[in-house]
A and B are shown apart, each in its own frame.
Chain A
Amino acid sequence: MIRINCPYCGERDHSEFSYGGDATINYPSLDASEKEWTEAIFFRKNIKGFQFETWHHSNGCRMWLVVERSTVTHEIKSVKPCHPDLQKVVENNK
């Protein structure tokens, strides 16, 4: 069982979370072309090793998090809030 250290709640079982997806996508603006959106939505790297991914603490604080996880070992290197302002708050409170 993966254990995720939520910056708000502490370390919890992954069953409290829902997997989101690739956390490195730069979503195009809403009026961007179909091509740009296609690349953002459908094209993914199949990373072996650490990747940044979003997880939602859906059965917890409901915050969306960026988790740096190894796809090979499930080792988690870092967990941060998605929202940059909240990232700053968490950093400052460390």
Chain B
Amino acid sequence: MKTRRIDNYGKINRDKILSFSWDKKNYKGFEGDTLASALLANNIGIVGRSFKYHRPRGIFSSGVEESGALVTIGSKDRRDPNVRATTQELYNGLEASGQNAFPNVNFDLAGINNYLGRFFAAGFYYKTFMGIPPLEWGKGTAIWMFFEKFIRKAAGMGSASGLPDPDTYEHAHDFCDLIVVGSGPAGVAAAIEAAEKKLDVILVEQDSLIGGNQLAENDFDNSQIKNQLENLGIKIMTRTTAFGLYDNCVVGLLERVTDHISAPNVNIPRQRFWTIRAKHIIVGAGAIERHIAFNNNDIPGVMTVNASKHYLNRYGVLTGKRIVIATNNDSVYETANQLSEAGANVTVLDSRTNFEIETNKSFEIRKGYVPYNINGSKKIHSLDISKSETINKSETIDCDQVLLSGGWSPAVHLLSHRGVKPKWDYNNACFLPSDTKENITMVGSSRGLWNKNDCIASGIAGTTDALNRLGISKTNYFFPKPGGWKNPIQPLYEVKYKKSRSKSFVDYQHDVTTDDVRLAHREGFISVEHLKRYTTLGMANDQGKMGNIIGLSLMAELLNKEIPEVGTTVFRPPYTPVSIGALSGRNVGKHFRPLRVTPMHQWNIDHGAKMIEVGLYQRPWYYPKENETLSDSYIREASTVRKTVGICDITSLGKIAIQGPDSTEFLNRIYSNSFSKLQVGKARYGIMLRDDGIVMDDGTSWRLAENEYFMTTSTGEAAKVMSWLEELLQNRWTDLNVNVTSVSEQWAGVSVAGPKSREVLNNCVDDSLVVTNNNLPFMGVTSTFLKGNIPCRIARISFSGELAFEVYVKSDFANTMMDLIWENAKKYDGCLYGLEALGALRVEKGHVTAAELDGRVTIDDAGLSKMASTKKSYIGSAMRKRGVLKNNDREILVGFFPTNLKETFNAGTIVCEKNNIKGQGIGRITSVTYSPELGHWIGLGFVKGGLDKWKDTNLVGADPVRNKQMNLKVVSPHMIDPKGERMYA
């Protein structure tokens, strides 16, 4: 097939030939090509099949508004679907293929949908929920279920690889005084003016080259501009799209770093997601040419006029030989001149009758003519035209290309992201940006300026506006008036043509036709937001950049209103699609969230620990010996603690230093129980409530000195408690003289638990007298030294119910402490134990943790009423007895046994009365474990009315998720050693 490339045109590098493949066939292009220009040069007209009807689709544009040429780039794990061929730069070895077609885009079996159009009309998806009219056949979910698999299959434009993404992405940040979006004449003028006024400027361009739409001009050379910008110290970011504007002049950008390179360096990210914080934003994002709706306006060979100019002057591709241009405005005539000079036979249909325009007279202008039907299916054979929009006296022109210009829509998208509604301009038949109080200024054709000098003037005015708003200058300025063509535009959105099965497209990408819009209106969708969702107009990944205005004009006509009364849909970020990879950046895999490890993390692993995540923390889960499973291991560990001694890393607990003369008063206010009489050298378990009377957290506070405490919190609530204490001191009790400091990272902690724990510690401390029962009674605290002169804090605190100690050293001594204690524990056949055994021990004792204290539980629900002082007021004391919190049927903490002791159950099991197994039941099981001590499974949980009400009744545990059910017995939560004799030993 003959190439469409012509000599002496374009800015491509003809010395550098690139080979690429399209649907597995090899072709050649040049450096500087896009995939679209290379396909056009190789005379490939059909590049895809449409979304619903599988009609052949060609290339409609030369930019981001493309709604036809969506292709898949790459293969295997690098397969990237829905890439716009018009913005994909060509590189050597690029593999591209068509989408939404089987077996290929030239011959697609699903093309039959074209003849089933009635079933795929507006709201098809929704109608499948309601049944097929007129009998509403299949009403209900059945028909949806029936259609769903077809719809899902048919609806995918290209498919993702389904494999892990092999590329890397990164997040980057920058700051500047002024960010200029768009490097057309307006943006460049603004940037230069600002840099000359000493502002720190970043200029962003989505294209690979700066210049904006000037790149479509045959005599444009950007090298001088580039030098000037660089010499002024302006940071130029090409291949970078400002996809969203956010509060306080924050701009989100996507930089495509390697998408244009055939074998990128693996150490370079594929894309970079930039967050740039500016003081002012100037948007010169240009304008987008619209098409015109008429029958068969989607046949390959239809294109915007400006796109054809781009292909000619930038890429040296003459897109047609016999070209008809249909327009309603002046912007096409320069292109018409150039296309005919390049050798095409050009005819211009201008819907206007009364206008004068200068041309090189090498082509015919048919004043007052409009196109109404294209003949052809896979390519254009001829165009039916008519004088005036009411079709009479028709005529047919042979042609191979139809170029459309229905006017221009300023790219107001970024401003729309800030909630600024554009206003309709009747003179220019387009939406123009409204003013905003934020530091954002629109310049160039984004504010409806159609000629270059006006654009340049607006750029300079934009920077003056920025300088004024930033308080740097106070200079008068004015923006040129919108417009700039010699003759006014005459609105032309649709040419109606009544013929069966005629399809006149508003939104090419989602296959939305003018009939769909009318049908939606007939069915009662009169709000533009509803229309959009019902027809899916403008909801494809081009977001209706070309077609939205046409859809609005149709609605306006149907509603007998003007376009501004119908409204416009709100544009939301992103302006063009952003890959999930770029959004996640490096936060994938193990970097998905921060990892916290304790200072003895490696020590634990070296000693055989299997780890588990608790919040962000890695904690030892269990320490299996040889072939032990998790259950083997934790049962052995828990039994060893009860028999001899075990040691466990508890560093992840929150630790807060509380210092100052009012420390005791402070603790007395935040804990529900009294701390006023706690002696120096003693610790106390405490419960904190929230303002509303619900339990916030529990922990211990150790009185180290008259005005100094060491507080521990649960692992999960550590950060919250710290913020809470700071809030109280800074915002509420500003008269209290207390200082709180997080020391969680500073101290490494270990629990030494079991009947032999005192003997073990005796061998570890410098002075063996400090841990005797007399010197360190239950809840006693001492600051002393471990062997080797290591300062430590020891408290006799028990979570397991055994004689137990918590030992803390500075984090740097963690490994030394572990070595020392473990060496001595081994002498008593002790063990290392992890979270699973810790859980078993505490469930046996009925001690609550986050599983029970889930933010819904009161101190009474948790069975800890005796921890609520009646002699003082504290946070939550006024509220803990309010309304529903004092109901008799609240769920109260209890223990559970399976009635048949051989049975097991799971946390999450719903507790029900025997003959009433439904809904949320009367309670729930929150924690379960096998109890080595009791020899069967036990659970903790809640039941309405508590132990007293149910102790002699058989209840049922329903576990529908696991398809399990068992009989339950309610018991006291204190399932072993209820009097706590072991702790006091």
Contact = CB atoms under 8 A, between A and B. Distances in A.
Contacts of B719: 58
Given A3-B250, A23-B731, A31-B873, 19 more contacts: A1-B248, A2-B247, A2-B248, A3-B247, A18-B723, A28-B878, A30-B875, A31-B877, A32-B878, A33-B878, A34-B879, A38-B879, A38-B882, A41-B691, A54-B731, A56-B726, A64-B727, A82-B730, A82-B734
Contacts of A64: 726-727, 730-731
Contact of B879 (A37, A73, A83): A37
A27 B874 CA distance: 13
Interface string A39-58: 01110000000000010101
A34 B275 contact: no
Given A2-B248, A56-B723, A83 B691 contact: no
Contacts of B729: 83
B423 to A, nearest CB: 19
23 contacts: A1-B246, A1-B247, A1-B248, A13-B277, A18-B723, A28-B878, A30-B875, A31-B873, A31-B878, A34-B878, A36-B878, A41-B691, A41-B692, A41-B879, A56-B727, A58-B719, A63-B730, A64-B726, A64-B727, A74-B248, A82-B727, A82-B731, A84-B734
A71 B967 CA distance: 54
Interface residues of B, number: 28
B154 to A, nearest CB: 39
A57 B826 CA distance: 47
Nearest to B692: A41
B393 interface: no
B275 A1 contact: yes
Contacts of B726: 56, 62, 64
A30 B723 contact: no
Interface of B: 246-248, 250, 275, 277, 437-438, 669, 691-692, 719, 723, 726-727, 729-732, 734, 873-875, 877-879, 881-882
Contacts of B691: 37, 40-41
B573 to A, nearest CB: 12
A42 to B, nearest CB: 8
Contact of B250 (A1, A36, A82): A1
Contacts of A41: 691-692, 879
A20 B691 CA distance: 14
A40 B730 CA distance: 18
A4 B730 CA distance: 19
A91 interface: no
A29 B735 CA distance: 13
A45 to B, nearest CB: 18
Contacts of B874: 30
Nearest to A72: B419
A28 B727 CA distance: 16
Contacts of B877: 30-31
Contacts of A3: 247-248, 250, 277
A87 to B, nearest CB: 10
Contacts of A81: 730
Nearest to A3: B248
> Size class of A's contact patch?
35 or more
A56 B389 CA distance: 64
Contacts of A30: 669, 873-875, 877-878
A30 B875 CA distance: 6
Nearest to B419: A73
A20 B437 CA distance: 28
Contacts of A20: 727, 731
A73 B439 CA distance: 13
B421 to A, nearest CB: 14
Given A30-B875, A30-B878, A34-B879, A58 B247 contact: no
A34 B734 contact: no
Given A1-B248, A37-B878, A83 B727 contact: no
Nearest to A85: B734
Nearest to B742: A62
Contact of B732 (A27, A33, A74, A85): A27
A56 to B, nearest CB: 6
Contacts of B438: 73
A58 B723 contact: yes
A83 B730 contact: yes
A36 B877 CA distance: 13
Interface string A1-18: 111000000000100001
In the A-B complex, the 3 residue pairs with the smallest Cβ-Cβ separation, listed nearest first, are: A30-B873, A31-B873, A3-B248
A13 to B, nearest CB: 8
A20 B731 CA distance: 11
A29 B881 CA distance: 17
Contacts of B247: 1-3, 74
B241 to A, nearest CB: 18
A36 B732 CA distance: 16
Contacts of A29: 873
A54 B726 CA distance: 12
Contacts of A42: 692
Point out which of B250, B730, B873 has the most chain A C-beta atoms below 10 A from its C-beta: B730
Nearest to A31: B873
Nearest to A40: B691
Contacts of B275: 1
Contacts of B277: 1, 3, 13
A2 B438 CA distance: 13
A38 B875 CA distance: 13
Nearest to B247: A74
Nearest to B690: A41
B416 to A, nearest CB: 15
Contacts of A37: 691, 878-879
Nearest to A36: B878
A11 B874 CA distance: 37
B664 to A, nearest CB: 15
A42 B726 CA distance: 22
Contacts of A62: 726
A41 B732 CA distance: 13
A54 B727 contact: yes
Contacts of A34: 878-879, 881-882
A38 B885 CA distance: 13
